């Protein structure tokens, strides 16, 4: 499964980096066609955000512990938040309020307003180990403990496993699921169910990794996370070789990413 894990992680990281310069921009006020820098967060091209950093922290925890260890996950997330671990250059420039509060308190938040996409964006590595549904829920609950968030993470892990085993079937199934849904119907804010639906829609309406993540970024609003989640799905289905080489070359912190893989 390491090959599939690598494809998913790189797919997510590249999508994230594509979206970083455009985060919070309204739909149709910009057009992303390539990997660029600066913009919203003033970061060089190829810089990933908290999305990938926390995903790499998850990956590294599984690598070290051999499974889902929620205490180790919390420590890993705090290393990112407090020390800049799992970033290209030690800089932490973006994070959600629920995540920050959960890391301060040492436990996940479970209110109805605590259903941002901060667990979904980092959960992909658990699709490529033997994590059970309850372990996926527990990993989500380190920061996002409401049932809406935990079940969204379980659904996404199952989706990635399906995409790794049967990519064509997955694409066809999602195409049917979203038949009749137009771009104007797709919500691309920070609510976890909107992000999951947007990622699935982007994958279902395109046929390449490149097109999937560009469509995701160009939805606007939470551009980095939508493209991160969509990128993990497209990377899993199409493989790392489907990611444009110039985008892979432009990525910063390649050694940081590779060191976390299990």
DSSP symbols for 102-146: HHHHTS-B-STT--BSTTGGG-GGGGGTT--HHHHHHHHHTTB-S
Predicted local confidence at residue 228, as pLDDT: 99
Interval 82-101 mean pLDDT: 97
Contact 120, 155 (CB under 8 A): no
pLDDT digits (tens, 9 = 90+) for 120-149: 999 999 999 999 999 999 999 999 999 999
Predicted local confidence at residue 1, as pLDDT: 87
**Res. 176 pLDDT band, cuts 50 70 90:** very high
Percent of the chain's residues with pLDDT above 70: 100
pLDDT digits (tens, 9 = 90+) for 54-86: 999 999 999 999 999 999 999 999 999 999 999
Predicted local confidence at residue 222, as pLDDT: 98
Question: Per the structure, how many domains does the chain have?
Answer: 1
Predicted local confidence at residue 65, as pLDDT: 98
Predicted local confidence at residue 114, as pLDDT: 98
CATH of the domain at 218: 1.10.4080.10
Interval 24-29 mean pLDDT: 98
Predicted local confidence at residue 196, as pLDDT: 98
Q: Which residue segment(s) compose the domain that 29 sits in?
A: 2-260
- Sign for the CA dihedral angle at 81, 105, 75, 118 comes to negative
Contact 73, 142 (CB under 8 A): yes
- What lies within 8 Å, CB to CB, of 117 at 6+ separation is 96, 190, 191, 192, 194, 195, 196, 222, 225, 229
Which DSSP symbol is given to 28? T
Cβ burial, residue 251 (10 Å; 0-12/13-18/19+): buried
């Amino acid at each position: 499964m390491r090959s599939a894990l690598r494809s998913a992680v790189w797919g997510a990281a590249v999508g994230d980096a594509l979206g970083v310069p455009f985060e919070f921009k309204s739909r149709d006020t910009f057009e992303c066609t390539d990997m660029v820098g600066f913009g919203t967060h003033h970061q060089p091209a190829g810089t990933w955000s908290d999305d990938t950093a926390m995903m790499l922290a998850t990956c590294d925890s599984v690598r070290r512990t051999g499974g889902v260890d929620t205490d180790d996950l919390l420590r890993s997330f705090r290393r990112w938040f407090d020390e800049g671990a799992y970033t290209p250059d030690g800089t932490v420039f973006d994070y959600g309020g629920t995540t920050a509060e959960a890391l301060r308190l040492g436990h996940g938040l479970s209110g109805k307003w605590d259903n941002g996409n901060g667990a979904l964006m980092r959960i992909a590595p658990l699709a490529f180990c033997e994590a059970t549904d309850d372990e996926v829920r527990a990993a989500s609950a380190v920061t996002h403990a409401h049932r809406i968030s935990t079940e969204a993470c379980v659904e996404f892990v199952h989706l990635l496993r399906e995409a790794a085993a049967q990519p064509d079937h997955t694409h066809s199934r999602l195409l049917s699921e979203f038949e009749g849904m137009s771009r104007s119907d797709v919500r691309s804010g920070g609510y976890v169910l909107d992000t999951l639906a947007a990622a699935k829609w982007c994958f279902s309406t395109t046929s390449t990794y490149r097109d999937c993540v560009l469509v995701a970024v160009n939805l606007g609003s939470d551009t980095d996370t939508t493209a991160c989640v969509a990128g993990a799905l497209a990377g899993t289905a199409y493989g790392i070789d489907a990611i444009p080489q110039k985008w892979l070359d432009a990525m910063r912190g390649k050694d940081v990413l590779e060191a976390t893989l299990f």
